[in-house]
Each structure stands twice: as C-alpha cells, then as structure tokens.
Amino acid sequence: MKYIRFIHEGAIRFGTLDGEKITVLDRSFLEKENLPTGQILTFKDVQLLAPVHPSKVVCIGLNYAKHIAEFGGSKPEDPIIFIKPNTSVIGPEAEIIAPAMSQQVDHEAELAVVIGKTAKDISEDKAFDYIFGYTCGNDVTARDLQRKDGQWTRGKGFDTFCPLGPWIVTDLDPNHLDVRAILNGKVKQSSNTHYFLNPITKLVSFISQVMTLLPGDVILTGTPEGVSPMKSGDEIVVQVEGIGELRNRIR
C-alpha cells in the first residue's frame, strides 16, 4: 500500500495511492480507525507534501563500509546517531535552499524508515512491529560546516535539508533494496541496503534504548559512497527500489 500526505483546496489531507487514483482518508493514516471519505482525487488535483511531519528525524552515520572508506574513517563500535530538526523536512519537488554560510552542500541518498507506533526499549526481534513503512530520504549536508564544527548539528540541520517522499510504501522488504542518487541525470551514488553495517532491526532497537520513537518519526538509515556537492539550479533525484523517486532542485 502507498500512503500520501498532500494539500487539496488549501487543507492538508491524507490518502492512499493506487496508480494515479488517490483515495482520501478522514484522518492521518498513522491514526487508528482512519476511513475513506468517499472522495477520489488524482495527482493534478493535489500538491504532494512530505508523507509525514515527524517530531524528529533520527539519522544514522557511517552505515556503509565504502562510505566510511571514502572519508578515511573506521567502522564505529555502535551505530552513530544524530538528529535533524523537523523544520528541515520538505517534500517532493520542494526546493533545497543552500545557506549563504556554506560553500559545499552535498546530497546523501538514503532509505527512510517511518515509525508507526510508540517505541521504547524494544528488542530487535520486535522492531518490525513498530515500523509503519518506508520512503526515500536525502540527508542534505553542508559538508564544510560539518568539518569545521567537528559535530554535525549545524551542517545537517538547516531548513530544507531533509527531503522526504514521495510516499510511504508499507508492503516492502527493506533488506535488499537498491539506493541511488542521480544529480542532473548522472548517477552519483548506487548501492544496496544489503550492505548496511547495522540492519534496520538493530537500528530501531538501538535508538529506542536512547530515546522514545513516536508515530511518524523517521529514521534515515545511512548513505552509501559517492556523495558529491550540489550547486544552485541542480536537480537531485533519490531513488529507492520498490518505492520510487524523490526529486528536488537546489537554490
């Protein structure tokens, strides 16, 4: 099933997607007892938003060995986690705004996990019970500021630095999915979630030992090698197998 969040006639609405047909729901798909309203729309009727507005985006650093190697690092003992603020979230076709204080803004294509119910101190074998579905994510990074600061909050946290979408897919095996970033039509990143150093079950469990994950929260699962800078006017496309593509321009 594909779930979307969108604007129609000035209001934020929720729905399911089948081809070009949107079945409008009476409330968020993350809420219990959501029901179809009977209204049917098409893409031309709506503006897609990020499929969720999370309380937080929890990101995983250094989860592919080749990405670690391209930056000359070493595999961490535990998953590296950091947070993007929810003000960084934008949807498909929205503009990524490059901040004036940075001279290098990179793309980072990632599989994004959407949490479906409150998760605290859960075990790895129960992790999938707390996942609602999956979408495409781009962990946009001001690389020069990340290096300068020695930590990642500023370099990762600017408004518009977390494109998500275009929709959430629920019936998907996340363990063997191709992940790609295409910059102005040229493939820059291409790998597969099979190469995760820490699988999704471990990530969900580990994060839940640190902080409570709420419905709608997003986990960005790490980016593969091939990250590269973007400039104003560029188009970046994140593709995740079985989901689709997330397209944004940079200004």
pLDDT digits 0-9 by tens, 125-160:
999 999 999 999 999 999 999 999 999 999 999 999
Same domain, 35 and 92: no
Asked whether residue 96 falls in the same domain as residue 186, the answer is yes
| 91 and 18 both lie in a single domain | no
* Structural domain that includes position 125: 57-250
pLDDT digits (tens, 9 = 90+) for 47-100: 999 999 999 999 999 999 888 888 778 888 999 999 999 999 999 999 999 999
The verdict on 15 and 78 lying in the same domain is no
pTM exceeding 0.95:
yes
Question: Within this chain, do residues 77 and 183 fall inside the same structural domain, yes or no?
Answer: yes
Question: CATH code at 165?
Answer: 3.90.850.10
Asked whether residue 149 falls in the same domain as residue 67, the answer is: yes
Q: What tens digit of pLDDT does each residue of 156-179 get?
A: 999 999 999 999 999 999 999 999
Residue with tokens 């930590």: 151
As to burial, measured by CB atoms within 10 angstroms (0-12 exposed, 13-18 middle, 19+ buried), residue 140 is buried
36 and 65 co-located in one domain: no
Residue 195 has, within 13 A of its CA and on its CB side, a CA count of 16
Number of domains observed in the structure of the chain: 2
CATH at residue 40: 2.30.30
Please indicate, yes or no, whether residues 25 and 68 belong to a single structural domain of this protein.
no
Q: Are residues 195 and 73 in the same domain?
A: yes
